[in-house]
Chain A
Amino acid sequence: MTSHATAATAARPEARSGALGRVAGSPLARLITRRVLVAIPLLLAISLLVFVLLELLPGDPAQVQAGMDATPEEVEAVRRRLGLDRPAPERYLSWLFGVLTGNLGVSSVQQKPVTEILATALPPTIEIVALAFIVSLVVALPVALLAARKPGGFFDRTIMVISMALLAIPNYVLALLLVLIFAVAFRGMLPSLGYVPISAGLWPNLRTVILPVLALSIPLMAFYARFLRGDLVEQINSADYVDTARAKGVGSWRILWQHAFRNSSFGLLTIVGLNIGGLIGGTVIIEQIFSIRGLGMEMLQALGARDIAVVQICVFIFAAVAIAANLIVDVLYAVLDPRIRYGRN
């Protein structure tokens, strides 16, 4: 790069760093920046809400942790140890400052830093949620396309019945059924309990996550398949551009894949974004059933023991993931539809 060129780019701020500068100055980047800026106060508001809700929970965390027959003096000692004798606003600000500086506090029950608890609890939860999400989409998309190709046909009707049945089964019941089939009936095929980290080997790890992932993803894949199939059929039956494509002699697969699916993907994206929160919430039960010490199980046990530092950060993470998922969906909208990027829709 010559000095002349450098001077020229310096004179044009939007082109300051070449391609990066173009992205940074693009409508998409502005959209992302705007949404991230909105997400920050939203996260703050959620953290405050979580703090207030924990404060409003019935009972006294100090008394719960002091035990069944603690004397009032002992309860007071626990209260001091947990810092609960300080005013609530001071405790909230102190917690917030800690989070911003990477200090998430110490679990009052486990007596270890919350970061350490998260380091062991996050990997299984992330793995299960990510795999469940991928599996549900990977199965639902082709199934929906196949079903929508011949609405009312045998495959379509079979899929609709099966998906309705799967949707009606709560995921904890499904989890128990899966255990009954794959662990009890076909004894030894898959374990009914526990989690083996990837560091112990890919197959040992996968064996322990297959059933939890299926329990989480099966209702989701049924839901996505039904939703996408319905949207695709509506597009095919009512959209003018489909009629035009048909008139041009475009084949049914191409209409489905290249025309109808692109439009239907907006609806699917919205649903997927909304479902991320539910998917993470589902891990609370699934981790219990499969005895996996993930984020959901940590939160549930911490809630029972009024381990405030752990509950606060778990709920905060759940909320942050839901916000991030919606942010990603919004960005994907903008990528798929330039009208949104430029604020025209």
Chain B
Amino acid sequence: MKSSVRGGRSAVRLFGTLAVALSLVVAGTACAAGGQPTDENGNVEVGDPQPGGSLTVLLDAGFAGGWATGLDPATSNTTGANLPQNAAIFGGLFTLEPGEDGEGGQIVPNQAEGYEWSEDGLTLTVTLRDGITFTDGTPFNAEAVLWNWIRELSSGSTGAPRIDLNTSLEPPQLDQAFLDDLFAALPEDVDRDALNGRLNAIRVVDDLTIEMHLNAVNGSLINGFPGANLNLIASPTAYKEMGARTFSEKPVGAGPFIVTANTQSQRLELEKNPDYFKDGLPYLDALNFQSAAGDQVLYQSLLAGDGQVVEGLSSVTLIQEARNNPDVQVVLGTPTSPYVIQLNTRKPPFDDKRAREAIYYATDFAAINKGLFNDEGEMSQSFTASGGLFWHDTVPGYREYDPEKAAEIVEEIGGLTVRLGTTDIVTARSVTTALQTQWEEAGIDVQIDAEPLGDVINRFLAGDWDALLQTAGAWDPSVGIGVGVRFGSTSPFSGAPLPEGAANAGDAIAQGLTTELDDMLAAAIATTDDDERFEVYQQISKYISDEAYAPFGMAFSPAQVMKKGVHGPGLDQPIPALAVNQGVLYDRVWIEESAR
């Protein structure tokens, strides 16, 4: 027995020695590079961009690092998630550029020269920059944009834009060869009538000008471009030569980089486009995207040198750890999308407004922000945060944390039992656990369901949920998973009430029924005047708050984590997140020579 204990101690000593040795090696590795030069204010001095070098970007397999449906903008279902790859391959007609001093952002024409709305706001005219060519040498012109837009609207991708086009115009004169190529690039079962209508509504004016005719004013259309496939213009000639499959794996655009190798949802390798339309850009010779599973793996791979950038690290503890690592720089994005607890008003218990109010009063997001996010999340009372357009920091009459009031209501309604769902990721689970504790203090029984994203989506679709912790909003509240997706009555991801007389969302659409909130959501994009839009969004916030549809919490933006010496817009210059992660403008990303 004695000898056994001795043996155990020997083993413990062995492990102890190994652990100490390991920590010394890790610490040694971490400290090896040292700090960077700083100016008198302590800010890191960044010199002029230096061309050359190769960069590997690590992406979360569950989001940006998944491109299972390929990278053809017309058939990819993950365009919104694959912003990094898209920026590198296609560049984009418009880009969301960082604002001055890291605040806000603005839409800037990129491959487009500019855009203009007609006086009635129903016709958008986009002009293209002259002299751009795709990387296969063919011209980037209005006909190519038309070919792409029609495919993107008609190819059946789940990311297809939903635009209310005026399809009743006279058919334009179109070249038969163009039509043949377009039809050959569309699914066989495409709806020909709908297709012809789109060809009526989107018209080539001249080689560098294209028009889009709408039925109704759409004030968020241009703001939505940087995250949508309409922004991504691919070479029709390359598609014709390569065929659908090869093209989706190695698409040809006019962006700063050319695809050289692609293992879908695993690794994408790109090299510099020598004929890029911006002089001197891109800076990098090569750019790779590597998919990895989860924050821990992403961060470890960065430390291991298997990549130089992690796009969108959201684990607070790892962000903190990265901040303490002198080899690594951490830049938090400008927050746009706060956490929100959506309440399903279409079934008990939250068809009773009092139950919804109890949740508002029982929820202390400020405490969660302090405990879980080191007070770094930005508190919000509505569907946008300071990085978003139309942000307003408070909502009049918003119900604040008041546990006694919550307990009174719970008693009054004879108890409250809630199934609180969330996506099965560490941060979201931590938030729901904290909420469970807070709510139980108010007498609310809580069961947490943490499920994979697909299952959460299914719950939404089946209406089988009470309360779901989500994020809401986007840079423009009406773009992407914005306020309409979370609160529009016909959105499958909404818990707001259906219009009176509608049995379900399909019925509401068929009968043309809307709620007061739907009308406000429509009004928010029915103008291109930003001041008018701002006012309507304030009304929407007030309405959601008054009806107690969903308490909002902290907006926390994932961080860009990089090895020291990596620079570029969207990396060390924050850009507001269009939806989840901020975009990176890879044509201007560069690495200091000493960091290569």
Contacts and interface: CB of A to CB of B under 8 A. Distances in A.
Interface of A: 58-60, 63-72, 77-78, 81, 109-112, 152, 154, 157-158, 161-162, 165, 176, 179-181, 183-188, 191-194, 288-289, 291-293, 301, 303-306
A69 B291 CA distance: 27
Given A165-B11, A180-B26, A193-B306, A70 B454 contact: no
A64 B458 contact: yes
Nearest to B303: A184
A192 B290 CA distance: 11
Given A192-B297, A291-B292, A301 B265 contact: yes
A59 B458 contact: yes
Interface stretch (B124-132, B155-163, B387-395, B409-417): B155-163
B267 A194 contact: yes
B464 A58 contact: yes
B492 interface: yes
B305 A58 contact: no
Contacts of B22: 180-181, 185
B491 A109 contact: no
Contacts of B455: 58-59
Residue of A60, A72, A154, A303 contacting most chain B CB atoms (<10 Å): A72
A194 B7 CA distance: 39
Contacts of B266: 194, 291-293
Contact of B306 (A152, A157, A192): A192
Interface in B43-95: 58, 61, 66, 68-70, 75, 77
B562 to A, nearest CB: 17
Interface in B1-17: 3-4, 7-8, 10-11, 15
B274 interface: no
- Which of A69, A176, A292, A293 counts the most B-chain CB atoms under 10 A from its CB? A69
Given A64-B458, A67-B77, A162-B11, A179 B158 contact: no
Nearest to A157: B7
Interface residues of B, number: 63
Interface in B234-254: 245, 248
28 contacts: A58-B458, A68-B158, A68-B457, A68-B492, A69-B485, A69-B492, A72-B506, A109-B77, A110-B68, A110-B69, A111-B69, A111-B248, A152-B3, A154-B3, A154-B7, A161-B11, A165-B15, A179-B297, A183-B300, A186-B25, A288-B61, A291-B297, A293-B266, A301-B68, A304-B452, A304-B453, A305-B68, A305-B454
A60 B307 CA distance: 38
B296 interface: yes
B503 interface: no
B459 interface: yes
B433 interface: no
A26 to B, nearest CB: 47
Given A69-B162, A111-B248, A193-B307, 10 more contacts: A59-B457, A63-B458, A65-B77, A69-B491, A69-B493, A152-B4, A179-B304, A185-B22, A193-B301, A305-B68
Contacts of B184: none
A158 B159 contact: no
A63 B461 contact: yes
Contact of A293 (B189, B263, B306): B263
A306 B159 CA distance: 17
Interface in B500-547: 505-506, 509
Contacts of A179: 297, 300-301, 304
Contacts of B294: 288
Contacts of A109: 68-69, 77
B426 interface: no
A188 B29 CA distance: 11
A64 B457 contact: yes
B263 A183 contact: no
Contact of B462 (A58, A72, A303): A58
Contacts of A176: 296-297, 300
